[in-house]
Structure 1
Amino acid sequence: MNYIQDFVAEISNYIKNENVELNAPMKKYTSFKVGGAVDLLVKPETYEEVSKVIGLCEERKIPYYIIGNGSNLLVRDGGIRGVAIKLSKLNGININGEEIIVQSGAAIGEVSLKSRDASLTGFEFACGIPGTIGGAIAMNAGAYNGEIADIIDTVTVVDHKGKVMKLTKDQLELGYRTSVVLKKNYIVLEATFKLKKGEYEKIAGRISDLMRRRREKQPLEYPSAGSTFKRPEGFFAAKLIEDSGLKGVSIGGAQVSEKHSGFIINKENATAKDILDLIHFVQKTVKSKYDVNLDTEVRIIGEEK
């Protein structure tokens, strides 16, 4: 841990003390509410701070991980060796005509509501997605027949050498739950979306309807990371899981939701191991019954305990 103490001493020149946390429990920073501690959590407030922290990690060969609000993240019980860079302080949202310019740490739902308030349509589909803009772009997040690819214009990213680049929609290589951001491990700093003028009442009504549907169909009362599995080509993950007789199945404190089989939830003080064991059990069962591979949508990092 001496290397972390040295690292903290160096970044204290430009990162505020309140934005640095040693041995930060990741269960506090993930929607699953599980996981061990990360050696160091840093919350940069500017793009320059992001670049400096990444540059120092690279120079010192310290592993680092970018996290938004931890809504699509499962950290193993042994925690994370290295540095977690949480971008939640980079949360600016600016509207310029029919464009909306958003920093990577802004909550997707907040951007959807700001768009509504400006009578801009196109972002309604994202009103209930629990992630941040950076993660949404990396995963080409989508819901209710809409996705980031439909409205994105440009994205500013930084690579692991500290080079800042502006990427067009075509350069983002957006596909189902993937992008060049994921493939090349870029860090999203900012994005510009192109929306259209609409009627406030219609936009607000659509958002209200989608939020109601989400509350009715998804187990929002329990910690989870949203949809646990990607949609296999030609199938629906939740239907495969339910048809395999796995709805409500539990391992430890983790459960396949009785409300929506596509969600694995932390029902009662689950460990990350409980959740991982249940994920593997679901994958094995569906493969055995239907010969379909279920790939996880949730990102899994950290060490075993």
Structure 2
Amino acid sequence: MKRSNLPCSTFIALALLLSCLSYLISIPKAEAKLLDKIMAVFDDKIITLSEVNQIKSNATIRKQIAPQIYYFNDFSPQEVVASITQTLLIRGALGDSGIIISDNHVESEIKSTEKRLQLDRESLLTLLHNSNTSFEEYFEITRAAIEYDAFKSIILTPLISITEQNIKNTFYKQYSSKQTLSFRYDLIAYSIEKSKLNSNQANNLKDAVSQYQKNGLLPEELRDLSVTDLGNISEDGLTPEMVALLKNSDEGSISDPIVVHGQYQLFFIKSKNLVESDIYLKNKERIERELFEKEAQQVLIAWLEREKQKHFIEYFFETLSK
């Protein structure tokens, strides 16, 4: 059970829950079977089984209206309750920021949808009826979708950072098998005689050079390490072995060591730029979008977990992770 830092919310929810349980105990068993089952409590809101079942019954249209909320397939009780909780948390966060999605805003969005789909209100109501959805439900689903988009833009996006280097490194990995790609590098080379290192020291060479990059300190066995700034260089100025090594190394990283003329050599890749830049530019926007959505999901999960700690939330089915 996750307890609120706000005692008032906790006491209200507990009182409400105890009141419901007391009432259930006081009535005959046959009559109790007719009562709705409590699936979860969020502060002073009770989420019931009938509410969960209704959401599942019109899952298809919910996925069409708000795929950013109803992205799951099974619509299990756990997933549905999680979606309700998420909507409440997002609505609360927007409210704290002074953002309220009004009825007029929702109505305006619905009218825009009608215009886009060339539907009048009567046709829309017929479509909703055939999808087991009331207009009131549709109205609130639309509100939740607008709230999610506002939340993503105002609260979530500032927490996400996709750098040019992230995009480049992803592109290189996706296209590493294409031999037509050619690069220019800005390199710093590190080298040391192979005979001066035992096997254990050789295995730790990359880590040692990486630490040297950060703090300027070298272990005693690397006192003879040579450092050479190769500057900006094309693949034409590198051996085939170096080309293969660097193609599989990320910008901003240190390559694995190779042996060249009796020396261990490894490289810090200050920059790695595609010569045929049109290939990169054609894919940059797609890659950035994919990276953003992937990180957005991770940031959202972490954000939801933090926000849950501020509320009283209790679940009434065993398999839901609290």
Fold match (TM-score > 0.5)? no
TM range (shorter): under 0.3
Higher helix share: 2
Whose Rg is larger? 2
Greater strand share, structure number: 1
TM-score w.r.t. length of structure 1: 0.22
